[in-house]
Structure 1
Amino acid sequence: MSRSEEPGAAGTGALRRSPWLAACGVVALLVLVEVVGRFRLAGAGWPALTAVVGYVAEPGAQQLLGRALVATGTAALAGFLLGSVVALLVAVLSVLVPAAGPGFDRLAAVVNAVPLIALGPLLITTAGREATPTLVAALAAGFALFVAATSALGAASDTQRDVFAVLGAGRVATLLRLQLPAGLPLIIDGLTVAAPAAVLGAVVGEWFGAPRGLGVLLVSSMQNVRIDQLWAAALTAAVMSLLAYVLLVALRATVTRRFR
């Protein structure tokens, strides 16, 4: 084997090993969770993983978790879409109107800095308990995507911008034909962060008095000391966030192959 072939072979070997390393890490984490719960190393509040799985296997628990999952998933999806659309529109507007860019940046930072404990009651009184989880999810997802989108739309090099300027392209043409295609992988990166943030936002938004959802189930489980139910609801939310992240990572791989 020549020296020029060695780096490629090493890279291929690393790619082949990475799924196995990830699987080993997951198995090690599950074993650790089971051992800590089985031997009560963290107290009664940390059950064994098999106990949580046994609770989830019960038909009544599946119905309860299923209804909560549908409510939280619907709110998270609606918030994700709403926050993403608004964030992209604001990012595009900041490119088309450069003078407004700093103002949008400061406004996004101020809104993101407001604590949810203060924002939640305001949303309840203005939008209602049903809409609050969706709006909190939209705020969480929107800020993450806005930061990524503003960076993505500025990813094109100065040389590329100069070429478009020499050819007489306006701001709209430059945005559509240069900045968006060049920044699309970074925008997808922002979506991979925004999706789990939307799930977390929906769960937190449900704590402020929503009628149903995983957040409501978490609060009810804590108040009634239902440890297995508490962990089952938390793991359900974590799995939903992980699935959303994995789907968007797969989308990013497809987009990267198309636009690289």
Structure 2
Amino acid sequence: MTIALGHRRARSVGLRPVRVGALARSTIGIVAYLVLWEVVGRRGWFGSTFPPLSDIVATLTGAQRRPVLARAFSSTASAAGIGLVLGVVAAVSGAALSLVAPPLRRGIDQLAIILHAVPVISLAPLFIVTIGREGTPIAIAALSAGFAMFVAATAAVEAARPPQHDVFTALGSGAVRRFVDLQLPASIPGMVDGLRLAAPAALLGAVLGEWFGAPRGLGVLIVSAMQNYQIELLWAAALATALTSMIVYGMLTRLARVASRRWPS
């Protein structure tokens, strides 16, 4: 027992320098990138359309532009959130239906592929005519998130191992009972993993949907700033979108790790 405890302590002590070293390298790389961005912008090496990072941050946090950016961000976040929920519900429902009713799986898979393959630029005018300009960002966000979640969900619901299926077969469980008690819990880590891909896709889909004539949002602000040559505002809106996507992805990555520990495959 003493030897085992010694090995555990050695492993834990050995892991700490590795983690600290990786964090230090990541921090140095990020800081170096930000400093390079500032220098390139100050020197004007890429022209006037590539401003220094400090000017972009000043525009993003300044009192003059902050209310405009806050309203646009609120609209985009709302559209992306609603689209994410709709896309996830549709994707999980389709994956569950294809599992419970195997003859429908081929048709559901083909429908998902077709919807994903159709260019957004051809769907947006149809959405504007049918559901209006305010609903178009939500619809495109739902489509963007739905395909990523559907791919993850169809793989996740089959994560249960064959011996586990054998136990349920021996107990005489039906397809619905097997899905609720076995396949659904086993699919949670894969579902969360798909969710971290679907959330940034929904945000990007909402921004793209706003480009086609939405009344407000970060996409509208980006187009307006580009047309009026407001370079700092353009970069500030793009940076807000990127930072939001990164933060959401990081939070869901953390949640995916927790789910993997709670429901190991």
Normalising to structure 1: TM-score of the pair? 0.94
How far apart in 2 are the matches of 1:199 and 1:168? 44
1:165 equivalent in alignment to 2:182:
no
1:236 equivalent in alignment to 2:240:
yes
Structure 1, gaps ≥5 residues long: none
1:43 equivalent in alignment to 2:43:
no
What amino acid is aligned across from residue 90 of structure 1 in structure 2?
A: G
1:113-137: CA deviation from partner (whole Å, max 9, x where unpaired)? 0001101101101110010001100
1:100 is matched with which residue: 84, 97, 104? 104
How far apart in 1 are the matches of 2:236 and 2:31? 18
How far apart in 2 are the matches of 1:9 and 1:161? 40
Deviation (angstroms), 1:14: 2.4
1:250 is matched with which residue: 234, 254, 257? 254
Mean Cα displacement is larger for which, 183-192 or 5-14?
A: 5-14
1:187 equivalent in alignment to 2:170:
no
Residue correspondences, number? 260
How far apart in 2 are the matches of 1:29 and 1:103? 47
Deviation (angstroms), 1:49: 0.4
Q: Which residue of 2 aligns with 1:81?
A: 85
Structure 2, gaps ≥5 residues long: none
Mean Cα displacement is larger for which, 16-25 or 43-52?
A: 16-25
| Fraction of identical pairs, as percent | 47
Compared CA separation, residues 183 and 227, structure 1 to 2 (3 A): same
1:59 equivalent in alignment to 2:59:
no
How far apart in 2 are the matches of 1:185 and 1:39? 47
1:213 is matched with which residue: 186, 203, 217? 217
1:138 is matched with which residue: 135, 142, 165? 142
1:110 is matched with which residue: 106, 109, 114? 114
Deviation (angstroms), 1:7: 5.3
Q: CA RMSD in A?
A: 1.7
How far apart in 1 are the matches of 2:33 and 2:152? 31
Normalising to structure 2: TM-score of the pair? 0.93
How far apart in 2 are the matches of 1:16 and 1:172? 47
Q: Which residue of 2 aligns with 1:129?
A: 133
Deviation (angstroms), 1:27: 1.3
Alignment of 1:9-28 (within 5 A): 9-28=13-32
How far apart in 1 are the matches of 2:185 and 2:17? 31
Mean Cα displacement is larger for which, 167-176 or 212-221?
A: 167-176
How far apart in 1 are the matches of 2:100 and 2:17? 45
How far apart in 1 are the matches of 2:17 and 2:97? 45
How far apart in 1 are the matches of 2:99 and 2:16? 40
How far apart in 2 are the matches of 1:133 and 1:10? 49
How far apart in 2 are the matches of 1:152 and 1:33? 40
Deviation (angstroms), 1:163: 1.9
Deviation (angstroms), 1:67: 0.5
How far apart in 2 are the matches of 1:139 and 1:249? 22
